[in-house]
Amino acid sequence: MPILKIGQVLLVSIQVDLQDQTVLALQEDLADRIVRTGARGVIIDITAVDIVDSFIGRMFATIASMSRLMDAETVVVGMRPAVAITLVELGLSLGGVRTALDLEKGMRLLGAPLPTIGSGAVDGP
C-alpha cells in the first residue's frame, strides 16, 4: 500500500480490502516512514472503504497510538456515513483518532497546508 509524503504529513489511501497481513505490513511500513521522514502527521484516506469491521476499527486506533508515540498525529478522512454508523454500532470509539470529512480538512486539522499546483511542492520547480 503506497504511503505518500506531502510536506510533514504521510498520506495512506486505502483502496483495497484490508486483510490481517496487509494491516500488519501497513503498520510496520508507516512506523518506519514516520521515523525516516520525521513526519508530524498521518492521514488515512478511507473514501474507498465501504465496509468496516472491528478489526479495521482497531487498526485505526492502533495506528493512531503508534503514531502518537513517535510524535505524529493521525487523522482519518473520507469516512462514509455507513462506515461511521457501523463503527458506532460495533462500539468502537477510535480513541485518539481525529476525523475530517476530506483530505483538505484533514490537512488543515494537522496544520499542514495543501500544496498547490505550480508552487513547486507537487510538480517540481
pLDDT tens, position by position, 76-114: 999 999 998 998 898 887 777 899 999 999 999 998 776
DSSP category for residue 100 = E
Say whether pTM exceeds 0.85. Answer: no
Contact between 83 and 50 under an 8 Å Cβ cutoff? The reply is: yes
Mean pLDDT of the chain: 85
Residue 16 has pLDDT above 90, yes or no: no
At the fourth CATH level, which superfamily is domain 3-110?
STAS domain (3.30.750.24)
Give the pLDDT score at 80. 92
Residue 2 has pLDDT above 60, yes or no: yes
C-alpha 100: how far from its chain's center? 10
Note the helical H segments in 38-97.
54-69, 81-89
Which secondary-structure segment (H or E) carries 12? strand 9-13
Pairing of strands 3-6, 9-13: antiparallel
Q: What residues pair up with 43 in beta bridges, in sequence order? A: 11, 75
70 by DSSP, 3-state: which?
A: coil
CA atoms within 13 Å, Cβ hemisphere of 110: 32
Give the pLDDT score at 123. 32
